């Protein structure tokens, strides 16, 4: 890991010093244990703050279009997929973008730790082991135990799009995705699923952290903010929360790169990903499409074939 950090800093220093980019978007150590925070290095003097480890959980692609000038971005697999979709949709200028690719073994799900040992006082990462001093006790974890749910099913840990790759690449299974999490929900009865999503939606406070953390939610005016027509009343209740989440997920269908940023951003622990994953599975099984796996191509819903499945039609 340390070598990668040095490589990232060297690369960032070089890009800034040579004037190839105005800013390098990466991560620095955050103010809390096991927390990294997005960092914008504007000068070579700042690059020594850059880090790279299992705490770098934000999807930095979110910032690219909003950051003026030429920029370099430290991109893991999911970040690069989001960049690919943004490029497909003409939201980014490729020439203004320098992608520093790093392979990612996954990020840590802090909630698992907090649930067991309480608020984290101190923590260290060493050789794939995470030792945590919590308010309710100490514990040492293997990284595999703490891997975020998204990362456990990740098929693209290596960037799909990059100008330079730093560090080693990760061997990836070539098997088709299993979607065990989605199938588990599908196998429940409609009533059980309804209960599950009702419970989830009753937790939502409509802070829009999910939307804002999402690299692909870039609408100039989100439908929830739209006054004419007025889709939502502003009421914060289960029905309207589901309207918001379902509307958002349908906007992301065939575009979502399954980075999990929305779920990690949620302060209330809403299982937003359960909705996105269902769409990802449907798009994969019906249209054999995975979002953002190359710069070319189009999002699944911008394309069609004449023999797309039609099971959804009425029987008449």
Instruction: Looking at residues 170 to 229 of the shown chain, list those that interact with another protein (rule: CB under 8 A).
Output: 185-186, 190-191, 193-198, 202-203, 205-209, 211-213, 223, 225, 229
Contact call for residues 74 and 138 (beta carbons, < 8 A): no
| Residue of 282, 284, 295, 297 interacting with another protein (CB under 8 A) | 282
Task: Select the residue interacting with another protein from 275, 290, 291, 292 (CB under 8 A).
Answer: 275
With CB under 8 A as the contact rule, the residue among 131, 152, 288, 302 that binds another protein is 302
Q: Which is nearer to another protein, 30 or 44 (CB)?
A: 30
309 touches another protein by CB under 8 A: yes
Of the candidate residues 22, 40, 48, 149, the single one contacting another protein (CB under 8 A) = 40
243 belongs to the binding site for another protein (CB under 8 A): yes
Residue 140, judged by CB atoms within 10 A of its CB (0-12, 13-18, 19+), counts as exposed
Taking CB under 8 A as the binding criterion, the range among 14-22, 77-85, 144-152, 244-252 that sits at the site for another protein is 244-252
**268 lines the binding site for another protein (CB under 8 A):** yes
Site for another protein in 87-116 (CB under 8 A): 111
Q: Give the C-alpha separation, 109 to 264, whole Å.
A: 8
Residue 146 phi/psi, 5° resolution? -105, 0
Among 75, 146, 278, 293, binds another protein (CB under 8 A): 278
Contact status, residue 300 vs residue 283, Cβ threshold 8 Å? yes
**Interactions with another protein, residue window 129-158 (CB under 8 A):** 135
Note whether 208 and 196 are within 8 A (CB): no
CA 57 to each of CA 26, 149, 260, 283, 311: distance values in angstroms, whole numbers, following the listed order = 11, 12, 9, 25, 38
Judged by CB under 8 A, the residue of 8, 62, 84, 157 near another protein is 62
- Partners of residue 27 on adjacent β-strands: 38, 51
The phi and psi torsions of 101 (rounded to 5 degrees) equal -85, 135
Nearer to another protein, 128 or 309 (CB): 309
Query: Length of the chain in residues, anyone?
Result: 316
Q: Which is nearer to another protein, 170 or 301 (CB)?
A: 301
Contact 252, 276 (CB under 8 A): yes
Report the residue from 54, 79, 148, 240 that binds another protein according to the rule CB under 8 A: 240
DSSP secondary structure code for residue 9 in this structure: H
């Amino acid at each position: 890991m340390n070598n990668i950090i040095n490589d990232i800093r060297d690369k960032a220093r070089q890009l800034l010093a040579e004037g190839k980019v105005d800013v390098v978007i990466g991560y620095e150590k955050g103010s809390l244990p096991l927390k990294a925070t997005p960092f914008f290095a504007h000068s070579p003097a700042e690059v020594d703050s850059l880090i790279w480890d299992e705490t770098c959980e934000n999807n930095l692609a979110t910032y690219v279009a909003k950051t003026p000038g030429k920029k370099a971005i430290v991109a893991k697999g999911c970040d690069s997929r989001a960049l690919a979709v943004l490029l497909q949709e003409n939201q980014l200028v490729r020439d203004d973008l320098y992608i520093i690719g790093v392979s990612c073994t996954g990020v840590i799900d802090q909630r698992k730790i907090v649930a067991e040992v309480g608020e984290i006082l101190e923590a260290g990462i060493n050789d794939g082991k995470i030792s945590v001093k919590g308010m309710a006790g100490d514990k040492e974890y293997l990284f595999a135990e703490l891997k975020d749910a998204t990362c456990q099913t990740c098929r693209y840990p290596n960037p799909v799009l990059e100008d330079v790759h730093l560090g080693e690449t990760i061997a990836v299974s070539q098997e088709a995705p299993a979607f065990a999490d989605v199938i588990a929900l599908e196998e429940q009865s409609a009533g059980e699923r309804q209960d599950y999503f009702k419970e989830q939606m009753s937790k939502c406070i409509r802070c829009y952290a999910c939307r804002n953390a999402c690299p692909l939610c870039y609408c100039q005016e989100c439908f929830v903010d739209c006054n004419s027509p007025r889709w939502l009343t502003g009421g914060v209740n289960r029905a309207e929360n589901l309207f918001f989440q379902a509307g958002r997920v349908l906007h992301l269908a065939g575009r979502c790169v399954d980075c999990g940023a929305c779920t990690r951003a949620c302060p209330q622990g809403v299982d937003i990903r359960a909705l996105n994953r269902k769409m990802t599975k449907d798009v994969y099984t019906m249209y054999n499409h995975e979002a953002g796996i190359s710069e070319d191509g189009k999002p699944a819903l911008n394309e069609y074939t004449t023999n797309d499945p039609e099971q959804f039609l009425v029987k008449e």
